[in-house]
Amino acid sequence: MTGQFRNPLLVLIILTASQTQLALAQEKGIINNSQSPHSKLRSVNLEDVKWTDGFWKEKFDLVKDVTIPKMWEFYNDGSKTDDGKDAGFHWVNFRIAAGLQEGVWRGTSWHDGDLYKWVEAVAYVYSVTRDPKLDRQMDEVIEIIGKAQQPDGYLSTQIILEKRKRFENIHHHELYNMGHLMTAACIHHRITGKDNFLKLARKTGDYLYDTFKTGQPELAPFGFNPSNIMGAVELYRTTGDKKYLELANIFINNRGTCKVGKTISQEIADQHTCKVGSDLTQDRVPLRNESFAVGHAVTATYLYGGAADAYMESGDQKLFGALNRIWNDVTSRKMYIHGGVGPFTHGMSIRHDLVHEAFGDEYSLPNRKSYCETCACIGNGMWNWRMLNITSQGQYTDVMERVWYNSGIAGLGLDGDTFLYTNVLRRFGKEVPLLRSDRLTRWKERKGYCCPPQLARTIARMHGYVYSTSKDSLWVHLYGSNILKTTLENGTSIQLRQSTKYPWEGQIKLTFESVSDAQPLKLQLHIPDWANGASIRINGKPAKIKTNPGQYASLQRSWAAGDVVELNLPMKARLVRANPLVEELRGQVAVMRGPIVYCLESVDLPGNTDVMDVLLPSNIELKARFDKNLLGGVTVLEGKGISLKNAGWTDGSYHSRNLYQDVTDFQTDSISLKLIPYYSWLNRGTSMMSIWLPVDMNHTD
């Protein structure tokens, strides 16, 4: 060793500083797992990835230019929605709590969390645009949030303005609200470098730690809708203060410690509070002992995502074992084809608790009553993103991709300002009763407004899901035209351009525009589980490498500027059937092409044809055609189907007819079909729709 490195302490300081510098380069992702000891992958800085064109660029611009500004107008409105209920009081409530205007609290108990999700979405957009107007707007909002916050760090406008007792009723969503505050503040700090919001989050985190470390049993149930776990872990990752990680584990350890007696619904009816464990809130069984997905699907996916975050830091194998068992239960028995979860509006859990908007029995996946709240679908994607980071296994990427291209974005209208709360797989006519929270058309304003900001922040941060790094690898999870400029863990700086028309076409081109050194690097390309026959070329020559569906293809070499990797994913339309144990889907098929789930919408049928009277021939040939003038530009699938005639209920008046009806003079006609991507449905007025269609084995096209 040369003279200047003879001092071991100096060497240690230099090495530590070097490692810290490399780690800091990747601390600005959706989750900051740059130092997480039990995470195989590391998030890429949000500012390092920018969409250049195509599918996700269009979605990002829509959220940036329409959704976020329109949402802010709604938050400031404070009027009544089209259903006659108070709404739009998200921001108004904060101004009242800050003493800036007179008034009373109005809205829903989770409105505070909606506002924090909006701030988070703005921060993601700012990471790309660096628009100073957005920076100033966030500062103005944060200032008033700070004025509304109580001196001890507590903040929930409903409780403050109505002078209620803190932690009296789990449905006041106090921890949900403060959890989103902590997450949004961490994201804001990473992207802007400012600590004005982070200081508020630390005050909140300190308050929650001081409150919950006491172990008071009456506080145990208040992890309902647990964004607080993800928020606490992220606050630990951002500040390095271990008490926030301890707080997250307190919340996890509280699961299943409540007394078991009356159902939660009985308890609420009797006392307007909750002091018992229930499957509705994933609180009857300690999480580490759980094997099934139960209860409210939003609170469940938030819990599982938070627990995955905690595992990355602790390495608690019992916790990860539970997450694996639950994941297998969801994906093999309880998840819809479009990635949605939570079919039941009301029902009974496996342990006989009353539940709603919840996971149901295994293989019970009804279509018309599928519910699948947008927040739950996105929660499923968030959970799988974390499982992917822990394991680097493609099975989680497959679920994540299924969500992001289907149920996870279907809730946002193509105008950027209308929404869906539920993501049903089948819609009948106007006279058929709708689910609670469902509408015949997309809505613009409503009291329950949790889904719009969830959609906004998800689409605004989608570029953060594309890549990850590990010690010697760059991982590519999602495909879309973008440019990546980043520094890897080994110190190599790269600029990579991804060019593709995915998801409409399966050709993906990755060009190394610059590489700082010639160190060997593995390029890990996700091969989706549907992509049989995928192929890869490097600089025009076939790569001699396996492309197993559902796994990552690993390309290792010393990359140089000008190197080009071409991935080809076959995009043939395919018919998909369900496990025979899903009785609601026997004799039916769904259509997919690439990652996209397709549906049949009545607006694309002749006026006298009912969606429910259409059958698909078993050997139907579906041709893909991109229509730039339809639904913002989509690839449709066209082919010849079968239409039933004189089969009963042909006028669509199901609700007014008998339960059963004889078939007389049964006839069929050939009919031209056009299937559209599911995410784009209900953008052309009221319509009927179905993903699953009967298949006819006796007719050909």
How far apart, in whole angstroms, are the C-alpha atoms of residue 400 and residue 403?
5
Decide if pLDDT at 242 tops 80: yes
564 and 579: one domain?
no
Clarify whether residues 600 and 536 are in a common domain. no
What is the average pLDDT across 138-167?
A: 97
* Statement to judge: residues 346 and 305 lie in one domain: yes
Q: Give residue 90's pLDDT.
A: 86
> Beta 689-690 vs 426-427: how paired, if at all?
antiparallel
* Of the residues 568, 584, 616, the one at which a domain ends: 568
pLDDT at 412 over 90: yes
| Total tally of structural domains belonging to the chain | 3
Q: Judge whether 3 lies within some domain.
A: no
Domain check: are 284 and 433 in the same one?
A: yes
What are the tens digits of pLDDT across the range 34-77?
999 999 999 999 999 999 999 999 999 999 999 999 999 999 88
Q: Does residue 499 share a domain with residue 448?
A: no
Domain annotation covers residue 12: no
Same domain, 412 and 499: no
CATH for 444: 1.50.10.20
Domain boundary at 447, 464, 481, which?
464
Domain interval for residue 478: 466-568
The answer to whether residue 24 scores a pLDDT higher than 50 is: no
In a domain, 596, yes or no: yes
Name the token pair of 668.
């069929």
The reply to whether 99 and 222 lie within a common domain is yes
Which of 40-44, 258-262, 641-645 has the highest average model confidence (pLDDT)?
A: 40-44
Tokens (6 digits) for 366: 């009804």
Q: What is the pLDDT of residue 432?
A: 80
34 in a structural domain: no
**Residues near 421 by beta carbon (within 8 Å), at least 6 away in sequence:** 373, 374, 411, 437, 438, 439, 443, 446, 448, 451
Q: Where are the beta strands (DSSP E) in 472-519?
A: 473-476, 482-487, 493-500, 507-515
Q: What is the CATH number of the domain that holds 526?
A: 2.60.40.1180
Averaged pLDDT for residues 271-284: 73
Angle formed at CA 55 by CA 54 and CA 56, multiple of 5 degrees: 100
**DSSP readout, 154-202?**
---HHHHHTTPPTTS-GGG-HHHHHHHHHHHHHHHHHHH---HHHHHHH
Residue after which a domain boundary falls, among 532, 553, 568: 568
Q: What per-residue confidence (pLDDT) applies to 3?
A: 37
* 156 shares a domain with 104: yes
Co-location of 484 and 451 in the same domain: no
**Percentage with pLDDT > 70 across the chain:** 90
Q: What is residue 4's predicted lDDT score, i.e. its pLDDT?
A: 37
Q: For residue 16, is it within any domain?
A: no
Q: Is residue 516 part of a domain?
A: yes
Confidence of residue 5 (pLDDT cuts 50, 70, 90): very low
Rounded to whole angstroms, how far apart are CA atoms 465 and 463?
5
- Looking from the CA of 76 toward its CB, the CA atoms found within 13 Å total 7
Q: What is the pLDDT of residues 352-362, one digit of tens each?
A: 889 989 998 99
> Three-state SS for 649?
coil
Pairing of strands 426-427, 541-542: unpaired
8 A C-beta contact, residue 229 and residue 220: no
Q: What integer pLDDT is reported at residue 648 of this predicted model?
A: 56
Does 655 or 681 have the greater pLDDT score?
Answer: 681
Helix, strand, coil percent content, the chain, rounded in steps of 5: 40, 20, 40
Residues 94 and 233 in one domain: yes
How many Å apart are CA 398 and CA 550, to the nearest integer?
Answer: 7
Residue 4 burial by CB count (10 A; 0-12/13-18/19+): exposed, middle or buried? exposed
Question: DSSP alpha helices (H): ranges in 254-393?
Answer: 264-271, 297-314, 317-329, 374-391
Among the residue ranges 184-193, 397-406, 608-617, the one predicted with the least confidence is 608-617
Nearest partner of 319 among 260, 255, 237, 384, judged by Cα: 255
The DSSP 8-state label assigned to residue 698 in this structure reads S
- Concatenate the DSSP letters of all residues of 534-562 into one string: -EEEETTEE------TTEEEEEEEE--TT
Is there a single domain that holds both residue 185 and residue 249?
A: yes
Q: How far apart (Å, rounded) are the C-alpha atoms in residues 51 and 58?
A: 9
Rounded Cα–Cα distance for residues 133 and 643 (Å): 55
Average pLDDT over residues 263-269: 46
The pLDDT of residue 265? 47
Would you say residue 300 lies in a domain?
yes
| One domain, residues 519 and 399 | no
- Structural domain includes residue 244: yes
How high does pLDDT run on average in the chain? 90
- Residue 57 belongs to what H/E stretch? helix 55-62
